[in-house]
């Protein structure tokens, strides 16, 4: 997430930076969440259609994606 115009990037930034512009963070989440949900749904659909050819790592990821999607309304 970018919290200000002077964002130095990276996930490990001082906690105080998260308070720079909470509205900006919220707007980014609102915009990105539907895209991420679609990505998860597409991945689960792919995993279902290719179940016999998936390795164990992708099966585990698909299971995690399903659990996440269980909490998301249609």
What are 13-30's pLDDT values in tens digits?
555 655 567 677 777 778
pTM here is 0.65
DSSP 31: H
Residue 60: inside a domain: yes
Q: Domain range for residue 74?
A: 35-74
Structure tokens belonging to residue 63:
């299971």
Q: Label residue 17 exposed, middle or buried (CB < 10 Å: 0-12, 13-18, 19+).
A: middle
Residue 49: inside a domain: yes
Please give the backbone phi and psi of residue 68, each rounded to the nearest 5 degrees, phi first.
Answer: -65, -45
CB neighbours (10 Å) of residue 62? 20
| Each residue's pLDDT tens digit, 55-73 | 999 999 999 999 999 999 8
Residue 52: inside a domain: yes
Residues 42 and 2: their CA atoms lie apart, in Å, by 26
Residue 15: inside a domain: no
Residue 68: inside a domain: yes
């Amino acid at each position: 997430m970018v919290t200000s115009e002077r964002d130095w990037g990276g996930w490990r930034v001082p906690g105080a930076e998260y308070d720079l512009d909470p509205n900006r963070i919220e707007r980014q989440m609102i915009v990105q969440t539907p895209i991420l949900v679609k990505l998860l749904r597409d991945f689960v659909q792919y995993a279902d259609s290719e179940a016999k050819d998936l390795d164990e790592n992708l099966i585990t990821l698909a299971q995690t994606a399903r659990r996440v999607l269980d909490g998301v309304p249609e």
